[in-house]
Amino acid sequence: MEILWFLIAIGMLIAVVGPYVRRRRSGIRLVAPGNPDAADPDDYGFARQEQLDIRVPGPDQDLMDALGNVERSGQWQAASMLLAGTPRDGEVRWQRVQAFAGAAALDLAQRPGVGAPWLKAWRLEAPKDAGGAQVHAELLVQQAWRQSGGVGSTDHRIILEEARTAVAGSALLAPGDPVPYITELAVARGLGYSEAEFDALWAKIIDRAPQHMGAHLAALHYWCEKWHGSREKADAFTHAAAARAPQGSLLAALPLFAVYEHLPEFTTVQSFYQSAVVTRAVEGALYAVHSARADDPMLAHVRHLLILFLVNGERWAEAMEQLRHVDGYVGALPWSHSADPAAHYAVYRALAVAGYEANGGSPATLPH
């Protein structure tokens, strides 16, 4: 069904048939502010769809080099060295653990039983390597949520129980590292931890990395899952974190992620993306982006989500500004929720370009 919607969206964009089409989950509203045929993303130096990297939200050359080495050689040492040299309390380590686990999960899905030999060797040859233990635990979590037969299935719970055991082992190997406990947040979500159990887990993370944006996003998934159908808990969590955020912290963007998690299945109200709730969340995220460090590793995550809301809100110039910073990489929400992340992103990018040019913009007027 997702693929069908993409095909419809792309076809409608090219043919300019009908002013509105709404897309499930993301609430995409295709508009025809001008002639999309005259709006070419290539004119802006954007990457072609087939060149978009679905593994990461933004550039990390050290990670790309290590991943390439691991995949070419089948040896784990480059991954181990990179993680050993990555600070424990920052966002980058969490992202790199996810990326290595994602690469292993993809290989295993494509080659069941024989994929990711480097990770198997890593665990066998260096069982006390904290990086390898964390990647293995994260791999199990990703398999549980993506390849286990569905939430609530027997396989789903069995893999999550195995992941919980792996998390505990990885935590023992690196006592001050928040990564194992952040991984466990996905276990908590799937196994239905009680609020008291979650609070105890969350305390371990906050003690180690109180401003960790990735941890807050993972915790938000728990609240949305546990309190499905009610926004109060998720909203309270995100607004409290945003209010406590120090100057320059991207935690101020958390309410926008809460809005995304609660998007209706079909957006039937034409002005939804100009509503007060959405506007406040977007403005908070824009403030966070403008005040954050240019090298904040979570900045790309916020920019990617902003693209969805800015395009649907017909704020073309602001959407183009976010695209200018992140184009080339699509390993982030909302694209990662799609069956084809690159195609999903490419549709929004084409809409942004068309709307921008229909309102007087051009490659010459977009800052570089």
Q: Which residues, 6 or more positions from 209, have their beta carbon under 8 angstroms from its beta carbon?
A: 89, 90, 178, 215
* pTM, full prediction: 0.85
Most confident of 72-86, 105-119, 224-238: 72-86
pLDDT of residue 31: 42
pLDDT-derived band at 89, boundaries 50, 70, 90 = confident
Q: Count CB-CB contacts under 10 A for residue 163.
A: 26
pLDDT of residue 28: 45
Assess whether pLDDT exceeds 70 at residue 16. no
pLDDT of residue 272: 86
pLDDT of residue 148: 64
Whole-number percent of the chain with pLDDT over 70: 85
pLDDT of residue 266: 53
Considering only the C-alpha atoms of the chain, give the largest distance between any 2 of them, rounded to a whole number of Å: 60
Assess whether pLDDT exceeds 70 at residue 5. no
Q: Which residues, 6 or more positions from 333, have their beta carbon under 8 angstroms from its beta carbon?
A: 257, 260, 301, 304, 305
Q: What is the pLDDT of residues 150-160, one digit of tens each?
A: 677 888 899 99
Q: Are 94 and 214 in contact (CB under 8 A)?
A: yes
Please tell me which residue, 260 or 9, carries the higher pLDDT value: 260
CATH code, residues 61-213: 1.25.40
pLDDT of residue 146: 81
**Taking residues 150-179, what's their average pLDDT?**
91
Q: What is the pLDDT of residues 310-356, one digit of tens each?
A: 999 999 999 999 999 999 999 999 998 888 999 999 999 999 999 99
* Termini Cα distance of the chain: 38
What is the residue extent of each domain of the chain? 1-56+227-368, 61-213
Q: Which residues, 6 or more positions from 63, have their beta carbon under 8 angstroms from its beta carbon?
A: 56, 82, 95, 96, 99
The upper half-sphere exposure of residue 181, i.e. CA atoms within 13 Å in the direction of its Cβ, equals: 25
* Amino acid identity, position 355: G
Assess whether pLDDT exceeds 70 at residue 199. yes
**Taking residues 200-207, what's their average pLDDT?**
96
Assess whether pLDDT exceeds 80 at residue 13. no
